[in-house]
Structure 1
C-alpha cells in the first residue's frame, strides 16, 4: 500500500487521482471514475468530486493508496 500525504483537510477524488499519478489529466480522472474503476474504502465511487480525508483508502488496478 502506498501512502499519499495531503496538506489540507480533504482532497477531491479527481484531484487525488492526478496527485497519485493514476490519471495524467482531469479528463482522464473523469473517465476512470465514470467507468467505475476506482474504489474508495472498498466501494466503487462514481463521484469525482467526492471528498477524501486522512485515513481513506483509494483502490485502482489492485493498487491501494492510503491518504495521510
Structure 2
C-alpha cells in the first residue's frame, strides 16, 4: 500500500487513478471502471466521478492506494486544470 497525497478535501476517482499512475488517461480510467476492476473501500466502484476523500483506499489489481491530505511525502496533484481540461501534476 502506498499513500497518495491530495491537495484539496476530495478528488474524483478518475483523477486519482491518473495521479497514482494506475492508468494513462481518462479513457483508460473509464475502461477499468466499467470493467469493475476498481474497488473503493472494499466495494467495486464504476463511477469515474466518485468523490474520494482522505482515508479512502482504492485498489486496482495488485496496487493499493491510500488517500491522504496534507504533506506525508507521497505523490501530490495540482487539481487545477490546464487549457485542455486535464488535471496538472
Query: For 1:1-68, what aligned pairs fall within 5 Å after superposition?
Result: 1-68=1-68
**Any gaps of 5 or more consecutive residues in structure 1?**
none
TM-score, normalised to structure 2's length?
0.75
After TM superposition, give the deviation of residue 63 of structure 1 in Å: 1.7
Hey, which of these two has a bigger chunk of helix by percent?
Answer: 1
Q: What is the Cα deviation at residue 49 of structure 1? A: 0.3
Cα distance in 2 for partners of 1:65, 1:50 equals 15
User: Distance between the aligned counterparts of 2:37 and 2:16, measured in 1?
Assistant: 14
Equivalent position SS for 2:30: helix
Task: Indicate the structure (1 or 2) with the bigger Cα radius of gyration.
Answer: 2
| TM-score, with structure 1 as normaliser | 0.97
Q: Which runs of 5+ in 2 are unaligned?
A: 69-89
Give the 3-state SS of the residue equivalent to 1:5 in structure 2.
strand
Distance, in Å, in 2 between the alignment partners of 1:59 and 1:51 is 15
TM-fit CA distance, 1:13: 0.3
